[in-house]
Chains A and B, each alone.
Chain A
């Protein structure tokens, strides 16, 4: 076995271990802050897996979008709304857990079955395009994948409008679930210069 192959195997096993353990941590840990930081670790390791597959542009985009934007915003939101509240105890917790575990295990076995039975068309490593992939991705985005690419931007616009409506409580001054008027104390008042008041 050559040194390059050994390095690749070591990197692959470490990265997959981090992805699996990290993902388990994200859903099993009690502290939501730890979960959010672990999610960032999982995203980073997935970027590492892309790097191993010679997809450096996708790896960098993964870091930029998922770690640098999505995960930072998740952590940001958690820290701004770090409310300590006691959750209501749920009835039949044990039964619920058993049902959800069995559903998840069924799904997992289905996916394993897919992995084993499907014949994956693995590309010939000798014909890998390597660094040229950036150009190919651009070509595809502006030709046969143009419509999904543009539709994704409409999705982002919708999310943005939704966020603005939620943030500006003078637009929606009723709580959706209870119908009660929303506490508007925290809305920023129009700022007056401090010195003007003294006169």
Chain B
């Protein structure tokens, strides 16, 4: 199945038209999607930071950023500039190599995970076969970076924050992976493209959220915990640990943590929308719309329309989830560390195991609804 726009193919054809070899054209093509994704991730962070400021202000009946640009839209850029020009401080008693490597090790896996986020049939960097499993594997590298920066800071709050972060992400990775496994079971594939295509049969009715409501809730809770968002932001709990593993960081190194946590939030929201909310699918299938306005599905106009609808839908769903996450952050109290681990090990893990069993049973009993 290869419908929809294939930008790589057309780009390579154009370059070959200029007399370049196909290998050279491929090399020129390679950095383009990566750069595009990097830019869109950073722009996504800017938007999310602005949203966070505005929504938190609304939740607390304040106005929020107001003077930097219309409605304060330039505020996140001002924040970023401030962090860029701040002095880069390495504490005298800190371990400078590990102190520098920590934030990098936190950010790189998150950005690498964008490899598998599809915005359309052919609109992703690489349709690797292991798809969603790559994200689970990559997100397990992050705690090493957190432990590293917690240790290297030579500060008891940092060390405690790093240890908490590692404990938290180890505990919540398991129910997260199990709820993804239930989806994979229904799809018969690990690829994110196949997961979305499996949900595209009947528009909004065939989204996985109706077939996996328990999995959806488990995944969302675990994703919030992995992002260290507020009900679960124990690694950086201000009242207990100053700022956890970030305590000694300033300037660009702090900005890397900041960027990493927001990119991770957007990535989690995107993955929830891909796994449970039909990815790039419009609530009404595009095929039906094409039939109504009487155009063949592979007409150029319809193709461009489908691709843009796909991008808009993916981003819209993701930002709806980001909105929910921000509201949750500003309206819920923080759990205690023992409550957090209890929730992970004694509640989410058994429930996700049961969910997996029920999914497998339903798949065998009703193959037409649960992917035979």
Contacts and interface: CB of A to CB of B under 8 A. Distances in A.
Contacts of A79: 147, 150-151, 159, 162-163
A184 to B, nearest CB: 21
B137 A72 contact: no
Contacts of B139: 68
A3 B166 contact: no
**Which range holds the interface residue count of chain B?**
20 to 34
Nearest to B134: A60
A79 B24 CA distance: 49
B163 A63 contact: no
Interface string B163-190: 1001100100100000000000000001
Contacts of A33: 98, 151
A75 interface: yes
Given A3-B23, A72-B147, A60 B141 contact: no
A27 interface: no
A71 B144 CA distance: 8
Contacts, number: 75
B213 interface: no
A2 interface: yes
Interface string B69-85: 00000000000000000
B116 to A, nearest CB: 11
A56 B130 contact: yes
Contact of B137 (A68, A76, A130, A131): A68
B165 to A, nearest CB: 10
Contact of B140 (A2, A56, A68, A130): A68
Contact of B129 (A3, A4, A56): A56
Contacts of B151: 33, 75, 79
A6 B27 CA distance: 13
A138 B24 CA distance: 38
B137 A80 contact: no
A64 interface: yes
Nearest to A130: B129
B214 to A, nearest CB: 23
Interface residues of A, number: 26
Given A60-B134, A60-B137, A68 B143 contact: yes
Interface in A103-159: 130-131, 134
A64 B130 contact: no
Interface string A57-74: 100110110011101110
B163 A72 contact: no
Nearest to B135: A60
Q: Is the interface of B mostly helix, strand, loop or mixed?
A: helix
B269 interface: no
A79 B138 CA distance: 23
A48 interface: no
A67 B139 CA distance: 11
A76 B164 CA distance: 10
B136 A37 contact: no
A171 to B, nearest CB: 20
A188 B339 CA distance: 16
B217 interface: no
Given A56-B129, A60-B130, A40 B144 contact: yes
A76 to B, nearest CB: 6
25 contacts: A3-B24, A3-B27, A33-B98, A37-B98, A37-B144, A37-B148, A56-B129, A57-B133, A60-B134, A64-B136, A68-B140, A68-B170, A68-B173, A69-B170, A72-B147, A73-B170, A75-B144, A75-B151, A75-B166, A76-B147, A76-B163, A76-B166, A131-B130, A134-B130, A134-B190
Interface of B: 23-24, 27, 98, 128-130, 133-134, 136-141, 143-144, 147-148, 150-151, 159, 162-163, 166-167, 170, 173, 190
Given A44-B141, A72-B166, 7 more contacts: A64-B136, A67-B140, A68-B137, A72-B143, A75-B144, A76-B166, A79-B163
- Give the 6 A-B CB pairs with smallest separation, nearest first: A68-B140, A131-B129, A60-B137, A63-B137, A64-B137, A3-B23
